[in-house]
Amino acid sequence: MQHLIQPSFGYSIDAAIPAADHLNLFIELGEHYLTISLCAADKSPLSIETYVLKEGVDVYTLEYILQLEKYSQASYEEVHLIVNTPDVSLVPEKFHKDHLSDSIYQTLHGDLKVSDIHTDHVNQWELALVYGVEKTILHFLKARYPSLQTKHFISLALVSLFRNNLEDLDSFIKIYFSQYYLTVILVKGAQLQFAQSIYFQTTEDAIYQLLNLVDRHHMDLKYLKAQVSGHIDEDSATWKELKKYVLDISLEPTTSIETSTSDSVGSHFFTPHLQVLQCV
């Protein structure tokens, strides 16, 4: 039977995943994409599927996908929701109080969205990250998986950066591409300057936003090191333009999986999804 909603790309090592023991389920929720990952207890990936959804993610689409045999017949030790939406606020930990999170969110992002407000404490950077999760999606997932744990992509990306890139943090930019959004982390002199998702539609949008960000923080492109991963094609105009402006730039493939030359995407498409799994 052909399912109505198909993943845009994916990776799998085992067709008999529901029979595996000690599985962990990771649901990564972006504005216009949804990634479902199944991992072993040691966080090694068994299956990753990404669905690009032009109209955004709703509870009905999420329910449909999770009812597929691959996911519905497995039992899970842990279930994690990783939120990757742009409405986040970073607050220095010493100034943050948990009871202020609702006020911080509504002041900066308004109350048009019906959201549950969450706070991640990113101890490595002494920051609190405040963000919203759409109530209907969160309540559906909590009803289905009572032990659900929630984190934001940016807080996990900051932990990953701290663990893996400390030697690069004098002048460094990390760029994750997803559908219509760049998630950018900018560090200068080992101090975090920027961590946010930026909307874009065209190559020109993306390049302008990135160059403007670097310029506003008085960073020299000659000395800037850039790592790029996520949903960007090596043959795309965006990647070719980035290489014109940033001399020390590289795609960041994952060492956890291998993709062949016949695959439609490179391993760097999976890197953001895998990195955050290791930091949960």
Percent of the chain at pLDDT > 90 equals: 64
Of 202, 201, 221, 203, the C-alpha closest to 211 is 221
- Same domain? For 53 and 18 the reply is yes
Lowest mean pLDDT among 10-14, 70-74, 257-261: 257-261
Confidence band for 15, pLDDT divided at 50, 70 and 90: low
The mean pLDDT value of the chain amounts to 88
Which pLDDT score is estimated for 280?
85
Strand positions, DSSP E, 44-114:
45-52, 76-84, 88-92
- Same domain? For 148 and 169 the reply is no
Which pLDDT score is estimated for 193?
95
Residue where a domain terminates, one of 156, 179, 200: 156
More confident call, 176 vs 45: 176
Residue 213 has pLDDT above 60, yes or no: yes
> Has residue 2 been placed in a domain?
no
Residue 19 has pLDDT above 60, yes or no: no
Percent of the chain at pLDDT > 70 equals: 92
Residue 121 has pLDDT above 60, yes or no: yes
pLDDT in tens, 102-117: 788 787 776 667 689 9
Q: For residues 124 and 189, what is the distance between their CA atoms, to the nearest angstrom?
A: 16
Q: For residues 213 and 221, what is the distance between their CA atoms, to the nearest angstrom?
A: 11
Mean pLDDT of 115-124: 92
Residue 18 has pLDDT above 60, yes or no: no
Residue where a domain terminates, one of 156, 184, 201: 156
Token output for 222 = 């000659």
Residue 1 has pLDDT above 70, yes or no: no
> Has residue 50 been placed in a domain?
yes
> Has residue 219 been placed in a domain?
yes
CATH number where 151 lies:
3.30.420.250
Distances (CA, A) of 188 to 17, 19, 169, 171, 178: 43, 47, 6, 5, 24
Residue 260 has pLDDT above 50, yes or no: yes
CATH number where 204 lies:
3.30.420.260
Give the residues across from 265 on adjacent strands: none
Q: Is the pTM of this model over 0.85?
A: yes
| CA atoms 88, 94, 98, 104: torsion sign | negative
Which pLDDT score is estimated for 17?
61
Give me the number of domains the chain comprises. 3
Which pLDDT score is estimated for 16?
55
134 SS3 class = strand
Token output for 76 = 């899970």
**Residues spanned by the domain of 57:** 9-84
Residue 122 has pLDDT above 80, yes or no: yes
Give the N- to C-terminal CA distance of the chain in Å, as an integer: 35
pLDDT in tens, 148-159: 999 999 999 999
Confidence band for 83, pLDDT divided at 50, 70 and 90: very high
CATH number where 68 lies:
3.30.420.40
- Same domain? For 46 and 80 the reply is yes
